[in-house]
Amino acid sequence: MRIDDLNGRLPDELRDAAKKNGIDELTPPQELAIAKGLLGGKGMVIASPTASGKTFVAEMAMITSVIWHGKKAVYVAPMRALVNEKYSDFKRDYPFLKIAMSVGDLDSLDLWLDKYDIIFASTEKLDSLIRHGLPWLDSIGCVVLDEIHMIDDYGRGPTLEILTARLRRECRNAQIIALSATIGNAKEIGAWLGSEVVESNYRPVPLRKGVTLKNSIVYENGEERMHCDGNELPEIKVAKDTFHRGKQLIIFYSTKRNTEAGAERMREITAALLSEGEKKELEAVSEAVLHALGKPTAQCEKLARLVKDGIAFHHGGLVNRQRNAIEEAFKSNYLKALCSTTTLAMGVNLPAHTVLVRDTSRYEAGEGSVKMGVNEVTQIFGRAGRPRYDTEGRALIMAKNEGELEDLMKRYITAKLQPVVSKLGVLPTLRTHILAFVASGFLSRLDSIVGFLGETFYGYEYGSTSELKSISRSVLEELEEWKFVEEAEHGVYSATKLGKRVSELYIDPLSAKWMVDALPEAKNELGLLYTITNTLEMRPYSRLTEEAEAGFAEYWSRIGAEAGYSESLSYDDPERAFSTALMLRDWANEASESEIVEKYAETPGSLFTKLNNADWLLYSCGELARIIKAGSSSRILELRVRVKYGIRKELLDLVRLEQVGRVRARMMYERGIRKVADLREERARQIVENLFGKEIGKVILDQAWQG
């Protein structure tokens, strides 16, 4: 079916945008969706491989809802990078529509969104908006739930499942489009959602899946020899064979350390492939990743060296500027290979001709070495094969011997996708959501809560709410004991002022309980920092240092015992939580990124993730302190600013200025400019311009005379 065959059935603006993007013919999944009622408003579960056209199915529903029906469309995905990518695509293709993205502040209703036609949001952000009393729910005509298989994820799955069930109940007339490339029970998901199901194996670029052994690749229906030497590492063989074809490669490893080591092993091979023009382009990329932080760390220096040789590693330890620079260089074919953890398995569209999963096992705390599931490996395989660039893609796994080859073929190559299973039915998971139900006024009785939970995928799967009722009763009793909810007559629950604020702040009630108890005893900055680090939200904790190990026993005996705390109140590892508090204190005392990275075994990416989490938790602490009247909110605010910027107290006034962070503030302070008011003195202009140049100097100096 051609796109022009839908004349009169789709808005002209949609067809025009499709043609500009090279879409003239519909793919089989798109045709099937239309045949099953997509354009008539039917809900859909689209289960088809990566690059098969799932997004355009969602696009047809979204744009039709907005232009022809005057309703809002909402796109939801679990990863910010994916939300941002789709937002950018729609902004480019539909500049005449009001399109917004909301992924940040979880304590904001974002009333400005009411004016927009299409809203792109992360799962947690939309859930938070609903908790705050979203006023435009009934104006939603289409909801797209991307990566619906994430319901199976212990971390993000419960929120996605609850959000989906709530949208179905509160937006009864909205068309729901659920998308996934890795879902083994699409019909079951479709039955739960009351939707039509489109299942397809169509892929615009055929994918050959195989296992490497020695110098060969064994496929389900054949075998081929690689262009390589016989005595090299298996991943080097795959790399040489891929480069011989003039193609790019992504190798997936189980750990950050392995990605870096893998890139080091391959740098000489990729360097030999580079043209003079590519080398020049990569010099600029290398500079960008080297100077992504105020002062380069050892990781920054290593990455910059590798980039010059046409290869890079990619993992959660990089900061956004580095990830973005690497991804763009790979898309432009300047980088010939990437060594990555599963950070590239989902989210940003970054395919290659060949994908190699080097490690199919990974370490998980409490379980040891664990084999990856077929769904996760299939998700990674989806990165192979680029439309408009390749006529085929290759997705490969490495085997050490014949026995392992046979096992890998059965486990990953010929195996069917696993069914998605709800992860909702555990007490800690339900605690935060049940508080949100009560606090938002959505549900107020045990029976109504259980009734709603019966509408979740968990309820659909098990067909019984007896276990949910027992768990929900326990949760309500716990929340009541913590004074977050209170029971009136006839079993009606309402949230206390404290409980409502906890729900709005989007923190786990157990974390909030700890903070409420700990705040009165937090006499100094270290006490406040431990109050926020000893929470679920700060995990994984920093490495346990000798200083932390020695200092924790003294701290706990002096503070914890006096307050009557039990170490069991800590979730996981109180000593490492304390070490994380010491790390934040070092940062707020102006330790450099490189010092923190070395001392606490952090990466730049994990450091800034912790700083973002600490900023949110300190904000939450201040809000809770205000309600329970424990300590000074201004003291917490001051510490929050210090942690955010990584500064000592004396720099607080200077960092209020645009273009001034911890480094520039300290440079001015050391030269006698200690407050914003000092910039009005005659000597200030020469000092600032000598330090930062005339252009930046003018921006800084002008602010001293404003307000």
Q: Identify whether the C-beta of residue 505 lies closer than 8 Å to the C-beta of residue 435.
A: no
Q: Are residues 263 and 149 part of one domain?
A: no
pLDDT value at position 638? Answer: 95
Q: Is there a contact between 310 and 274 (Cβ–Cβ < 8 Å)?
A: yes
Residues 641, 655: Cα–Cα separation, whole Å: 9
pLDDT above 90 (res 652): yes
- Domain-embedded: residue 48: yes
DSSP code at position 568: G
Q: Kindly tell me the burial class for residue 232, based on how many C-beta atoms sit within 10 Å of its own C-beta (0-12, 13-18, 19 or more).
A: middle
What number is the average pLDDT over the span 505-509?
Answer: 94
Does the reported pTM lie above 0.95?
no
Residue 567: inside a domain: yes
Whole-number percent of the chain with pLDDT over 70: 97
CATH classification of the domain holding 132:
3.40.50.300
What's the pLDDT tens digit per position in 585-601?
999 999 999 899 999 99
Asked, for residue 60, whether it belongs to a domain, the answer is yes
Residue range 185-201: mean pLDDT, rounded: 97
Judgement on whether residues 173 and 142 belong to the same structural domain of the protein: yes
The answer as to whether 500 is a domain residue is no
> Do 578 and 634 sit in the same domain of this protein?
yes
For residues 544 and 678, membership in a common domain is answered with no
Mean pLDDT of 678-682: 93
245/357 same-domain check: yes
Domain boundary among 493, 528, 548: 493
SS (H, E, C) 288-305: HHHCCCCCCCHHHHHHHH
Same domain, 374 and 475: no
Domain extent at residue 483: 427-493
With a cut of 60, say whether residue 581 has pLDDT above it: yes
Tally the domains of the chain.
5
- Residue 225 tokens read as 């020899």
**Residue 573 pLDDT > 90, yes or no?**
no
Per-residue model confidence (pLDDT) at position 568 = 43
Residues 224 and 250 in one domain: yes
CATH number at residue 442: 1.10.10.10
Final residue of a structural domain among 602, 622, 646: 646
Distance (Å, whole) CA 633 – CA 635: 5
